[in-house]
Structure 1
Amino acid sequence: MPMKTLMTALLLGTATLGQAAQIDPYGYKLPPSMQPKKKAPAAKKKGPPPVDYVGEFVNFGDWKEVRSFLDDVATRDGFERAELNTLMGQVRYLDSAVQLVKPAPPGKPKNWQAYSKLIVDPVRIDNGVKFWNENRDALERAEALYGIPAEILVGIIGVETVYGRNTGRFRVVDALTTLAFSYPEAPQRTERMAFFRGELEATLLFARQNGIDPLSLRGSFAGAIGMPQFMPSSVMKYAVDFDGSGKIDLLNSSGDAIGSVAAFLAAHGWQRDLGGPLVYAASVSPNRAWEAMINQGLTAKYRAPELTAAGVTTAVPVPEQQTYGLVDLQNGAEPTEYWLANNNFFAITQYNRSYFYAMSVVELGRAVRLARGGL
């Protein structure tokens, strides 16, 4: 099945994959003992969920950049230009999306402890225990197939949407069009607008291929979809039918969400043979030679002897065969926390390019595991 059709299937739940349902895009094949049991198709929902906003009509079709984009899309993808004009006449400008993607005000200090308290909270922990218990089989299969521990998968889905409770009620086309042509002033503004234009084009393609109204699609303020909040391009590349239903549905199928997150991490550098913790609490010396190791990209590049020589120490020995990155978690006016993170921690940052995000996934997953009675 073409990838764009596959992406639409996730949203609509209409694709039939047959044998392809048992093989994911990265060549992993489920052995017979791990094949999921077929499930009865879920009842169809009545129409799209309501939106959370009114939006502003700005007549995007009159914008020079939008007209040029639509000309290109019509030529490249064979759309009728008149149909695109009609669609743009119904798109709304979403100021809330613009405000939400703006960088933090200059001088406002980051605060990991405050951020962590918002994410690793009793609601997510309690719902995480329930999610883990209800989806234990899928989590065990994903760990066996991809090598991703259950607590990491539970952590990501919990951080993203509280296990499907907050998947977004914005019209995807409104959000993507607004950010594609009215992204706020910020570093790399041009690159960000190009990214959202690509996602908008993908949305138009899969809507056409499946005969649906693109305005019916719902997601986050940035156009992310389903329990794991995949952007459309990630849906095309990494989404898998993990529950054996014959279709991919990241909005309603916990199994598909679990398998797809695992496929994403496996494709972005997760190493099943690393073992041990992803992070180790670290102390740094006053000589500050270690400062050169901060902000060296989302990668683990230093070995334990190098870190020790620069004045970085840990309370417990770290495996010397692994490489690490030095992660700094700022706490506002309080002292910064330092951690050594291995390659699997940085695989999580490919999901969201933030130390805070990756650490919150690690801590939420660990909290849920302990709440279930795990060690």
Structure 2
Amino acid sequence: MTFAKRFRNKPFITLLLSALVAATSLCPPEAFAAPQKTVKKSKAKPAKKAVAAPSDYYTGEFVNFGQWKEVQAFVDDMVSKHGFARTELAALLSNVRYLDSVVQLVKPAPPGKPKNWTVYSSRFIEPIRINAGVRFWNDNAEALARAEALYGVPAEILVGIIGVETIYGRDTGRFRVVDTLTTLAFAYPVAPNRDARMAFFRDELEATLLYARQTGTDPLSLQGSFAGAVGMPQFMPSNIVKYGVDFDGDGRIDLKNSPADAIGSVAAFLVGHGWQRDQPGAVVYHATVSPSRAWEQYLNLGLEAKIRPEDLTTAGVVTTSSLPPGMLYGLVDLQNGSEPTEYWVASNNFFAITQYNRSYFYAMSVVELGRAVRITRAGS
């Protein structure tokens, strides 16, 4: 039985503080206090029956993270680097849960299953998401137009990303971010890249605590995906700090409830990762390849545009429309299982999208969903 199942729908249990906490004088400020609920008693009305935990509340197992050597080293860093009070962090750790469900979700998929672009894209380029995209575009046309003018990112790309990520805010994640990041920072499953991934999530936990302190947010109130991503655009906490934009002008950045903030922040992220506003032509161009296979040398060259169009032509790559001269490109292969592979020639702006999620499939889904929404909206 997983930890999540063991604790599901059980009432909140107040635990003894960890040995680390007991050794200190515990007096946490409001910003780090666990949220409290006040129940008013009334003699006029009978007591209500206990209400089950909401469906969007993921429980886990309380563990004494404060006694883990690696966690203690992290606390030392937060105290020395950022001036956090040790008692505050100890109070926070006493409320953090270990999420076995998250550990299971980040484990790599079993090998041997071939990539299939058609199957992958069918999850995103489908009527429910397209129609939701049309409504999102209509409802936020002003913010999308303003972001396109300010950052040079077309509205359809912004719509595509937010649609692929969360269906326009419909599913922003139901895990407590601090639980998720602490679990993955210190209990990541065995994998070849385990050390690098743990370091990544420790950095994100650090960013979460800094963000919470800067904004006066209770860190335990932040919810997100099983990987710790937050809001409509699924920003990791460090990216909220770097690229978050108060695009609706209300004095705060709210990526969960403000579509305008999400739109502006996605545009700022893309520009920060190489999006070029004046780049002519399309983001990608459909291509055919010659039987000579000389073009294979241009596959798997990383997530950036490196190839001159004349070199692609010489190698036997032919696009269905002309490539703007004076630019560099990349050759993208979208594998289709046992069916023929699709080939596309990608511009620099396509590779900017891959910095959001390092996948050709992801970036192409963004492009295709945005295009489908634009066409559907124009015809409605």
TM-score range, shorter chain: 0.7 to 0.9
One-letter code of the match for 1:238? Y
Identify the residue that residue 13 of structure 1 maps to in structure 2.
none
- Are positions 1:311 and 2:300 aligned together? no
For residues 77 and 54 of structure 2, what CA distance do their matches in structure 1 show?
31
Q: Give the Cα–Cα distance (whole angstroms) in 2 for the partners of residues 50 and 73 of structure 1.
A: 33
Q: Distance in 1 between matches of 2:177 and 2:245?
A: 21
| Alignment-mate amino acid for residue 202 of structure 1 | A
**Cα distance, 1:179 vs. partner?**
0.8
Change (3 A) 1:292 1:319: same
1:158 aligns with 2:163: yes
Aligned residues: 329
1:161 and 1:229 in contact (8 A); partners too: yes
Between 82-91 and 116-125, the greater mean CA deviation after superposition: 82-91
Question: 1:143 Cα shift?
Answer: 0.8
2:79 to 71, 74, 82: 74
Q: Structure 2: which 5+ runs fail to align?
A: 1-30, 32-52
Cα root mean square deviation, aligned: 2.0
1:175 aligns with 180
Post-superposition shift, 1:321?
A: 2.2
| Residues 214-233 of structure 1, C-alpha deviations (whole Å, 9 max, x = no match) | 21111111111111111111
Are positions 1:100 and 2:140 aligned together?
no
Deviates more, 1:77-86 or 1:255-264: 77-86
Which of 181, 186, 208 is residue 191 of structure 2 equivalent to? 186
Moved >6 Å (runs of 4+):
none
Match of 1:239 among 241, 244, 263: 244
Q: In structure 1, the residue corresponding to 2:274 is in which secondary structure?
A: coil
Q: Distance in 1 between matches of 2:356 and 2:228?
A: 15
Q: Deviation per CA, 1:161-216: give whole Å up to 9, x if none.
A: 11011111110000000111122233332122111111112222333344443211
One-letter identity of the residue aligned with 1:225: V
1:135 touches 1:254 (CA, 8 Å); kept in 2? Answer: yes
Out of 246, 255, 258, the position equivalent to 1:253 is 258
1:351 aligns with 2:356: yes
Structure 1 length as normaliser, TM-score? 0.83
1:321-332 to 2 correspondence within 5 Å?
321-332=326-337
Q: Which has the larger radius of gyration?
A: 2
User: TM-score w.r.t. structure 2 length?
Assistant: 0.82
2:175 and 2:254 mapped to 1: Cα distance? 18
In the TM superposition, 1:328-343 aligns within 5 A as 328-343=333-348
What amino acid does structure 2 have at the position aligned with 1:343?
N
Identity over the aligned pairs, expressed in percent?
Answer: 71
Residues 231-282 of structure 1 deviation map (CA, whole Å, 9 limit, x = unaligned): 1111111111112223221111111111111111111111111122111111
C-alpha distance in 2 between matches for 1:293 and 1:313: 14
